[in-house]
Structure 1
Amino acid sequence: MSDIDFSFDPQWAQTLGMPFMHNAFLAGLCIAVAAGAMGYFTIARHSTFAAHALAHIGLPGATGAVLLGLPVSLGLGIFALAGALVIGALGKRASQREIATGTVLAFATGLGLFFARLSSSASQQMQSILFGSILTITDDQVIGFAIFDIVLVIALAVIYRPLLFSSLDEQVAQAKGVPIGLMNVLFMAIMAGVITIAVPAVGTLLIFALVVTPAATANIIAASPLKAMCTASVLCLVSIWGGLVLSAMFPAPPSFIIVTLSTLFWVIARAVSAMKTTNA
């Protein structure tokens, strides 16, 4: 007989009131704001592969941090930022970015596995790094996430117009004097920060579901860039908070439910859009 138990937990409301759940909800809010805003630019710049790759590029930083006894987020952030800067500097055009991203990704993945083999503790933490562990987020991490969101909002307020212009039409933006190379580097650097705070929720393997999928859904629903960013943040927040609530009700990992909800919203949006197109 199977040992899998999907029984309903009648104590789920008490679970939601626990301190670790409060941290998870606050972290989810911070992640949703950041992922929703940058997810739009990720799709507009055709950089979904780069966003997915940055999480894996941060893997050796995370395992190396465990090896040295340092915070996992610190190592992850340093390697993700370093990889982002290298990709942004080397890949001035989309085709170049794909090659640079793939090269850096392959090296970083191998290095991460090497670090994991050097330390048994790193090997033990690989599951939380790969699949996330949002229920273990600390007070200090929540504060760090909130500070990052503030910095992100300020940065986007400053570079919003040139970043949007270069994202929608790179050649015209360059002809108008927009510093394309600088926008590439800034975008990748900010994305590295978003990846760093999002990995604790769903891990490096499932990061696509928070950074790209809600933004893809929002692009189907919303008509303008700003509305798409706000919609993506709301969808991301509903996915995370919904995942936390349902994981308290049923014995399923939060990351699995978060990814499932995010994907479900995208499928529904695609289906409704297709029906409208057919009936038009």
Structure 2
Amino acid sequence: MDKLFDVDLTLKLLGLPFVLTALLAAAILGLLAGVLGPLIVSRNMAFSVHGTSELALTGGAAALLLGWDVGQGALAGAIVAALVLGLLSRRSSDYDSVIGVVLAFGLGLGVLMLWLYKGRASNKFGLLTGQIVGQDFAGIALLSGCAVVVLVLLALLYRPLLFASVDPEVARARGVPTTALALVFAVMVGAATALGVRTVGSLLVLALMVTPAAAACRVTASPLKATVLAVVFAEVSAVGGIVLSLAPGAPVSAFVTAISFLIYLVCWVVSRSRGRVRA
């Protein structure tokens, strides 16, 4: 227990350059997850995020096998996955089944590539559960560049995206290009999800992309307040998860998921309490 909560060791590790780099990556990722999360929740895209993260694993595994940059490989895999899912699932009734089919194929391919890779086992494990030492200057540059592009696109498209998310039928009747917006948003989500693979890992990046936003939507119906709360919750989960993982040297994803789930439980209790008071 002392090893798990060794404050002195944690403070020493916080001064290391690679830890500071990881914290910066987590902060950027938390911002992306927070601003995209409420729209993901309102559009019922949680399963899509999971599918995209697993296909980001396939791209990262391919890059690992070929000796390329893992972050770029994961990003390419996630964007391809988002485009494929958007093109194959024209009808909402087909969406879940298409994700399941593409997810199964991509995950099997990723497992095969990881098996073929003969390098260090820690590299394979890092793709699944995340590792803070995986962040470097090139990774931060890629993360920052993609974050800027995603945030600019979201600022330009936020109003029609929100309209299409809340009431897609009326938005379509008003002439909003819902199909094109869905495809663009899927690519943005894919990019953000892929960027989280190095930090959180492909298996549990869903916790950062969905859980903080789901918690925020529990306590407020305002899109602006939900976005602000989701950013705060995602930052606490991502940065706090890294800080808590330092002393034990445990996978970051374990602490990120624990913090985000605890936040969700607190918001759930708050929303239930409000419901009882109104009743």
TM-score normalized with structure 2 length: 0.94
Say which of 153, 159, 162 aligns to 1:164: 162
Aligned partners of 1:89 and 1:184 also within 8 Å = no
Matched residue, 1:54: 52
Give the CA deviation at 1:135. Answer: 3.5
Matched residue, 2:213: 215
1:242-271 residue CA offsets vs partner (Å, 9 max, x unmatched):
122222344543221111001000001101
1:136-187 residue CA offsets vs partner (Å, 9 max, x unmatched):
3112211221111211121011111111111111111111111121011101
Give the CA deviation at 1:10. Answer: 2.1
Matched residue, 1:134: 132
Q: RMSD across aligned C-alpha pairs, in angstroms?
A: 1.9
1:88-133 residue CA offsets vs partner (Å, 9 max, x unmatched):
1221232222122111111101111111222222765221111011
Say which of 63, 72, 80 aligns to 2:61: 63
1:41-64 residue CA offsets vs partner (Å, 9 max, x unmatched):
111111110011101012221111
**Change in 2 beyond 3 A, CA 1:253/1:265:** same
Say which of 165, 171, 174 aligns to 2:172: 174
**Total equivalences in the alignment:** 278
Aligned partners of 1:64 and 1:112 also within 8 Å = yes
Corresponding letter in the other structure for 1:260:
A
SS in 1 for 2:196: helix
Aligned partners of 1:35 and 1:198 also within 8 Å = no
Aligned partners of 2:53 and 2:206 also within 8 Å = no
**5+ residue gaps in structure 1?**
none
Pairs within 5 Å for 1:80-229: 80-121=78-119, 124-229=122-227
Aligned partners of 1:37 and 1:229 also within 8 Å = yes
**Change in 2 beyond 3 A, CA 1:227/1:8:** same
**Change in 2 beyond 3 A, CA 1:7/1:230:** closer
Residues in 1 aligned to 2:13 and 2:76: alpha-carbon distance in whole angstroms: 34
Matched residue, 1:29: 27
Aligned partners of 1:247 and 1:257 also within 8 Å = yes
Residues in 1 aligned to 2:209 and 2:158: alpha-carbon distance in whole angstroms: 18
Matched residue, 1:241: 239
Give the CA deviation at 1:216. Answer: 0.2
With 95-104 and 7-16 compared, the bigger mean Cα shift is at: 7-16
Aligned partners of 2:74 and 2:194 also within 8 Å = yes
Residues in 2 aligned to 1:197 and 1:223: alpha-carbon distance in whole angstroms: 28
**5+ residue gaps in structure 2?**
none
Residues in 1 aligned to 2:249 and 2:6: alpha-carbon distance in whole angstroms: 8
Aligned partners of 1:59 and 1:112 also within 8 Å = yes
Residues in 2 aligned to 1:256 and 1:31: alpha-carbon distance in whole angstroms: 17
Say whether residues 1:274 and 2:272 are aligned partners.
yes
Corresponding letter in the other structure for 2:26:
G
Residues in 2 aligned to 1:150 and 1:273: alpha-carbon distance in whole angstroms: 34
Residues in 2 aligned to 1:100 and 1:275: alpha-carbon distance in whole angstroms: 38
SS in 2 for 1:178: coil
TM-score normalized with structure 1 length: 0.93
Structure 1 stretches of 4+ moved >4 Å: none
**Change in 2 beyond 3 A, CA 1:195/1:7:** closer
Residues in 1 aligned to 2:118 and 2:269: alpha-carbon distance in whole angstroms: 46
Residues in 2 aligned to 1:100 and 1:170: alpha-carbon distance in whole angstroms: 20
Residues in 1 aligned to 2:268 and 2:237: alpha-carbon distance in whole angstroms: 17
Say which of 251, 256, 260 aligns to 1:258: 256
